[in-house]
Amino acid sequence: MIDSHSHLFEEEFNIDIEDCIKRCKENNVNKILLVGFSYDTNRKALEYSKKYDIFYPTAGIHPDEADDNYLEKIKDLKDFISKNKVYAIGECGIDYHYTKENALIQKIIFKEQIELSIKYNLPLIIHMRDATADTFNILKEYKGKIKGVMHCYSGSLEMAYEFIKLGLHISLGGPVTFKNAKEPKEVAKNIPLDKLLVETDCPFLAPTPFRGKRNESSYVTLVAKEIADLRKISYQELEEATEKNTKELFNL
């Protein structure tokens, strides 16, 4: 089993990172994409991946990072990618949940990262929150040139098919286990199995029965179990398929 999206370098894990990794291995979670999203976290992801062989680092600029220093941030990311081995660009994307005031800068940063992913032939890890139309319209401009994943996807089934048509995969996380999560469950049931990935996005969005508590990568098994049940297939079949998809997409 692979957790395709985690932030285990966050300080919530400072006290027990070794135990977290141990719990992953006990649950047959053997590979983890460690996702950077800023100057500091890109470096942490790389540093942790050198220390623990379970991790595969990525680097990106999160839409929350869209401020007046964006040109410097883009320059730093380009420099960082040129010097270090990463497995994906991102997370990056569009997020209007808290503000739309920086929309223009968000779009510029996102497009720069799409261009980088094409240049280095790397997949994108895409964050989209309350911004479906703009995210889709930007990605559409690059149809045929991009690959990547809509991470912790929470949109409609209809839009999931549209993102798949652009060449992207769909990753589901903890919310698919929530009782009232109608759309993620619809997506989990219906999208082609060869387009599906699983993730935790830890420390956020812990699956049931840990909802509201700290999330960790070993809980990706709970996400997978829920999706297997929804699709009426075995856990093993789901595990094999998502593992294959993730390995192929990120070239692990």
Report the alpha-carbon distance of residue 186 to residue 183 in Å, rounded: 5
Q: Smallest distance, Å, CB 233 to Zn ion?
A: 27
Q: Choose one: 12-20, 195-203, 220-228, 235-243; the region binding Zn ion (CB under 5 A).
A: 195-203
- Cβ closest to Zn ion, residue 220 vs residue 228: 220
Summarize the chain as % helix, strand, coil (round to 5): 50, 15, 35
Closer residue to Zn ion, CB minimum distance, 80 or 161: 80
* Nearest residue to Zn ion, by Cβ distance, number only: 201
Site size with Zn ion, rule: CB under 5 A: 1
Tell me how far, at minimum, the Cβ of 35 lies from Zn ion, in Å: 5
Nearest of 26, 18, 52 to residue 221 by alpha carbon:
26
Query: Is 228 or 246 the residue whose CB approaches Zn ion more closely?
Result: 246
Both tokens of residue 163?
């993102």
Stretch that binds Zn ion, among 14-22, 72-80, 192-200, 201-209 (CB under 5 A): 201-209
Which one of residues 3, 201, 216, 226 is an interface residue with Zn ion (CB under 5 A)?
Answer: 201
From the number of C-beta atoms within 10 Å of its C-beta (0-12, 13-18, 19+), residue 212 rates as: exposed
**CB of 91 or CB of 226, closer to Zn ion:** 91
CA 35 – CA 45 distance, rounded (Å):
7
- When the beta carbons of 93 and 228 are compared against Zn ion, the nearer one is 93
Distance of alpha carbon 43 from the chain centroid: 17
Options 8-16, 165-173, 199-207, 219-227: segment touching Zn ion (CB under 5 A): 199-207
Q: Which is nearer to Zn ion, 125 or 227 (CB)?
A: 125
Tokens of 93: 């994307």
CB of 179 to Zn ion, least distance (A): 23
Where does this chain touch Zn ion (CB under 5 A) — which range of 161-169, 172-180, 197-205, 222-230?
197-205
* Strand pairing class (196-198; 31-34): unpaired
| Chain Cα centroid distance, residue 150 | 7
CB of residue 227 to Zn ion, shortest distance in Å: 19
Site string (123-162) toward Zn ion, x via CB under 5 A: ----------------------------------------
Given CA atoms 229, 232, 235, 237 in this order, what sign does their dihedral have?
Answer: negative
The reply on whether position 3 binds Zn ion by CB under 5 A is no
CB distance 116 to 81 below 8 Å:
yes
The set of residues, in sequence order, having a beta carbon less than 8 Å from that of 23 and lying 6+ positions away, is: 216, 218
Residues that bind Zn ion (CB under 5 A): 201
